[in-house]
Structure 1
Amino acid sequence: MTAPVIDLTGKVALVTGAAGGLGAAVAAAFADAGAHVVLADTDLAGATRTAEEIGGSAEAVELDVRDPDAWQRATARLLEQHGHWDVLVNNAGVYRKAPLAEMADDEIALVLDVNLRGTVLGTRAAARSMADGGAIVNISSTAGLAGHRHALVYSATKFGVRGVTRSAALELGERGIRVNAVCPGPIVTSMMRADQVDWSAVPLSRAAEPREVAALVTYLASDAAAYCTGGDHTVDGGLSA
């Protein structure tokens, strides 16, 4: 019995928050697996640089995930240029840490809007225009599996992402569209510094490299994961054990 091949050849994928960090790693992994990747970000210059580094199978588009009109423009352009859309990774996110009593109103609104509303709008856009048989991968977090001190709003949004994932999987399954959540543990990127993490709580005693999380996202986006939907998939060095 041969192992399933992780192959995205012929698929068109859109990755949000792709100018850097995990999104850039996912975009690069998708391109390596044969996909044409659209890197979406509010930082168009950064996304363009990353797309150029990836090479000919990648392009950049400006997208604010909080804006329904921006989603409409981005997906209309994608379909006009490529004729189909097969994979969405709702990766764009922001992290704010503060005691709840000290968190400012604008910080609460930002985290809710980007992390949760952005995921809802992206998933709705996919429901409207993604090809049957496609795949959606939503980036949650181990903060979406357990409460996090001084990160209540972030944790709430990541719990919410898991709810979006499960509900969308139920609704879109009849079209063969699979919806899964990836729950990473600590990944040292621009969003989280090494000194923000209690490594004693991580059995493997280190952060994940973005490419390690990207490998799981690529698997879930591929036909190798054809019977996976509605699930929470951890890549956390044993943190949630």
Structure 2
Amino acid sequence: MHVAVITGASSGIGLATAKMFVEAGIAVVGVARDAGKLAAMERALAGGPAPVATLAVDVRDDDAPRRAVDLAVERFGRLDHLVNNAGIGSPKPVHETDDETLDYFLDVMLRSPFRFCREALRVLATPGTIVNVSSTYALLGGLRGGAYSAAKGGINALTTHLACQYGSTGIRTNAVAPGVVATPMTMGRMDDERFRRMNVDMTPSTRMGLAEDVAQAIFFLSSPASAWINGQVLAVDGGWSTTKFLTEEALSAERRPVTPDWSHSGRPRGEGAG
């Protein structure tokens, strides 16, 4: 029986991933801060094809990676998969971000995954997998990304390094970069018209993304079906990051006029040299 450690496992993408792993017969060590939510996860997954253990801890704690990995080995005898999913949302642009907020975002979404990877490498079986949860905001310049974009960009670089350094040992490392999906972290922001239009109106899909969509990608990258995939960042975003799509509503919206700027090159801004 394979064993996975999943951070941020009590809700959203982490919970959907834990459920998918358990249903596939993979034991799960779920890591999150909220003991009550973890208990609910255990109850929901009880009786499944594989067992579940939980650890209520802040992933920023110095001993969190060691405790999670040790729990996997002590309870289930091994560790085959690590999913670094824990994250936070609602970032601010750089000029609005103080040092405390910067440190918090980097600690949760870059320093913590780095340390969980380092600890997991100590015992990870071969073949084994690491999947880091990045973001489309690390692929494109997302508005208001700030420290969030910086942390997720670091995750992408960490992923490619791990793939290069440890791929020859049988440990594959990949990342998924979700767009905005329906999770407790994002649903409240859908009441913001600007946020909704920036995401929903620019995604060429007939529905909003679900946590299960991302979990499917994580599961695939953790499975033998992806055995020849290493060092990749897979966008799971309905096409948001790779298209110039706009809904009919957005295309027909009233636009402000654009005044040509002749001040630099003697031709309107954006006009080619041709």
TM-score above 0.5, yes or no: yes
Q: CA deviation at 1:205?
A: 5.3
1:39 corresponds, among 19, 23, 30, to 30
Q: Which amino acid aligns with 1:204?
A: S
Q: CA deviation at 1:59?
A: 2.0
- List gaps (5 residues or longer) in structure 2: 243-274
Q: Which residue of 1 aligns with 2:75?
A: 81
Q: Could you tell me how far apart the structure 1 residues matched to 2:179 and 2:148 are?
A: 14
Describe the superposition over 1:108-146 as per-residue Cα deviations: whole angstroms up to 9, x where unpaired: 111110011111111111111211211110000101101
Q: Could you tell me how far apart the structure 2 residues matched to 1:206 and 1:158 are?
A: 25
Q: Which residue of 2 aligns with 1:30?
A: 21
Q: Could you tell me how far apart the structure 2 residues matched to 1:52 and 1:115 are?
A: 28
Percent identical among aligned pairs is 38
Q: Which residue of 2 aligns with 1:218?
A: 219
**3-state SS of the aligned residue for 1:131?**
coil
Q: Could you tell me how far apart the structure 1 residues matched to 2:117 and 2:62 are?
A: 11
Q: Does 1:101 align with 2:92?
A: no
Describe the superposition over 1:193-230 as per-residue Cα deviations: whole angstroms up to 9, x where unpaired: 32333222111154211111111111111111111110
Q: Which residue of 2 aligns with 1:60?
A: 54
| Contact kept? 1:182, 1:217, Cα under 8 Å | yes
Q: Could you tell me how far apart the structure 2 residues matched to 1:13 and 1:77 are?
A: 11
| Contact kept? 1:38, 1:61, Cα under 8 Å | yes
Q: Which amino acid aligns with 2:22?
A: A
Q: CA deviation at 1:98?
A: 2.3
| Contact kept? 1:61, 1:74, Cα under 8 Å | yes
Q: Which residue of 1 aligns with 2:202?
A: 201
Report the count of equivalent residues: 232
| Contact kept? 1:65, 1:114, Cα under 8 Å | yes
Q: Could you tell me how far apart the structure 2 residues matched to 1:163 and 1:115 are?
A: 13
CA RMSD after TM alignment: 1.4
Q: Which amino acid aligns with 2:241?
A: S
Q: CA deviation at 1:102?
A: 2.0
Q: How does 1:123-162 map to 2 (within 5 A)?
A: 123-162=117-156
Q: CA deviation at 1:171?
A: 1.1
Q: Could you tell me how far apart the structure 1 residues matched to 2:99 and 2:179 are?
A: 27
| Contact kept? 1:65, 1:121, Cα under 8 Å | no
| Contact kept? 1:186, 1:208, Cα under 8 Å | yes
Q: CA deviation at 1:82?
A: 1.5
The runs of 4+ residues in structure 1 deviating greater than 4 Å are: none
Tell me the TM-score normalized by structure 1: 0.92
2:4 corresponds, among 10, 13, 19, to 13
Q: Could you tell me how far apart the structure 1 residues matched to 2:57 and 2:172 are?
A: 23
| Contact kept? 1:138, 1:181, Cα under 8 Å | yes
Larger radius of gyration: 2
Q: Which residue of 2 aligns with 1:7?
A: none
- Compare relative contact order (CA 8 Å, sep 6+) and give the higher one, 1 or 2: 1
Q: Could you tell me how far apart the structure 1 residues matched to 2:91 and 2:60 are?
A: 21
Q: Could you tell me how far apart the structure 2 residues matched to 1:140 and 1:38 are?
A: 21
Of stretches 150-159 and 59-68 in structure 1, the one that deviates more from structure 2 is 59-68
**3-state SS of the aligned residue for 1:53?**
helix
Q: Which residue of 2 aligns with 1:190?
A: 184
| Contact kept? 1:12, 1:37, Cα under 8 Å | yes
Q: Which amino acid aligns with 2:6?
A: V
